[in-house]
Amino acid sequence: MDSQIAEPDAAARIASIPIEEIDVARPSLFQNDTIGLFFDRLRAEEPVHYCRESYVGPYWSITKFDDIMALDTNHKVFSSEAKLGGIAIQDMHSVEGALELEMFIAMDPPKHDQQRKAVTPAVAPSNLQLLEPIIRKRAGEILDELPIGEDFDWVDKVAIELTTMTLATLFDFPWEERRKLTRWSDVATAAPETGIVESYEARREELIGCAMYFKTLWDERINEEPKNDLISMMAHSPATRDMPFLEFLGNLMLLIVGGNDTTRNSISGGVLALNQSPDEYAKLDADPSLISKMVPEIIRWQTPLTHMRRTALEDWEIGGKQIKKGDKVVMWYLSGNRDESAIERADQFIIDRKNPRHHLSFGYGIHRCMGNRLAELQLRIIWEEIHKRFSRVEVTGEPERLFSNLVRGITRLPVRLRAR
Ligand code: HEM
Residue 87 exposed, middle or buried by CB count within 10 Å (0-12, 13-18, 19+): buried
Going by C-alpha positions, the residue among 198, 217, 383, 205 that lies closest to residue 285 is: 383
* CB distance 166 to ligand 1 below 6 Å: no
Which alpha helices (DSSP H) does 55-158 contain, by range?
Answer: 65-72, 111-119, 125-144, 154
Predicted pLDDT at 127: 82
In ligand 1, which atom is closest to the CA atom of 123? 28
Sheet holding 414-419, edge to edge: 152-153, 414-419, 390-395
Residue nearest to atom 3 of ligand 1 (CA): 259
* CB distance 105 to ligand 1 below 6 Å: yes
Q: By the 8 A CB rule, do 296 and 356 touch?
A: yes
Predicted pLDDT at 7: 58
Strands 307-312 and 59-62: unpaired
Query: Which residues of 125-252 form beta strands (DSSP E)?
Result: 152-153
pLDDT tens track for 6-46: 456 788 889 999 999 999 999 999 999 999 999 999 999 99
pLDDT tens track for 334-356: 999 999 999 999 999 999 999 99
- Tell me how many degrees the CA angle 358-67-84 measures, rounded to the nearest 5: 110
In ligand 1, which atom is closest to the CA atom of 119? 33
Predicted pLDDT at 98: 56
Report CA(369)–ligand 1 centroid distance (Å): 3
Predicted pLDDT at 2: 41
Report CA(321)–ligand 1 centroid distance (Å): 29
Strand-pairing partners, residue 317, are 322
| CA 25/CA 273 separation, integer angstroms | 24
Query: Which among 369, 372, 379 is the best mutation to test ligand 1's pocket, defined by most ligand atoms within 8 Å of the CB?
Result: 369
Question: What's the DSSP call for residue 88?
Answer: S
Predicted pLDDT at 185: 85
Report CA(18)–ligand 1 centroid distance (Å): 35
In ligand 1, which atom is closest to the CA atom of 105? 37
- Tell me how many degrees the CA angle 296-108-117 measures, rounded to the nearest 5: 65
In ligand 1, which atom is closest to the CA atom of 364? 14
* CB distance 138 to ligand 1 below 6 Å: no
Q: By the 8 A CB rule, do 319 and 49 touch?
A: no
For 292, phi then psi, to 5°, come to: -65, -25
Query: Which residues of 259-389 form beta strands (DSSP E)?
Result: 307-312, 316-318, 321-323, 328-332
| CA 11/CA 9 separation, integer angstroms | 6
- Tell me how many degrees the CA angle 363-89-122 measures, rounded to the nearest 5: 40
In ligand 1, which atom is closest to the CA atom of 170? 28
Low-confidence ranges of the chain (pLDDT < 70): 1-8, 93-101, 191-194, 239
Q: Identify the three-state secondary structure at position 357.
A: coil
Report CA(250)–ligand 1 centroid distance (Å): 14
In ligand 1, which atom is closest to the CA atom of 106? 37
* CB distance 103 to ligand 1 below 6 Å: no
Regarding an ipTM greater than 0.85, the answer is: yes
Report CA(368)–ligand 1 centroid distance (Å): 7
Q: How many CB atoms lie under 10 A from the CB of residue 9?
A: 10
In ligand 1, which atom is closest to the CA atom of 374? 26
Architecture of the structural domain at 10-419: Orthogonal Bundle (1.10)
Residue nearest to atom 15 of ligand 1 (CA): 362
Q: How many CB atoms lie under 10 A from the CB of residue 267?
A: 26
Question: What's the DSSP call for residue 94?
Answer: G
For 410, phi then psi, to 5°, come to: -110, 120
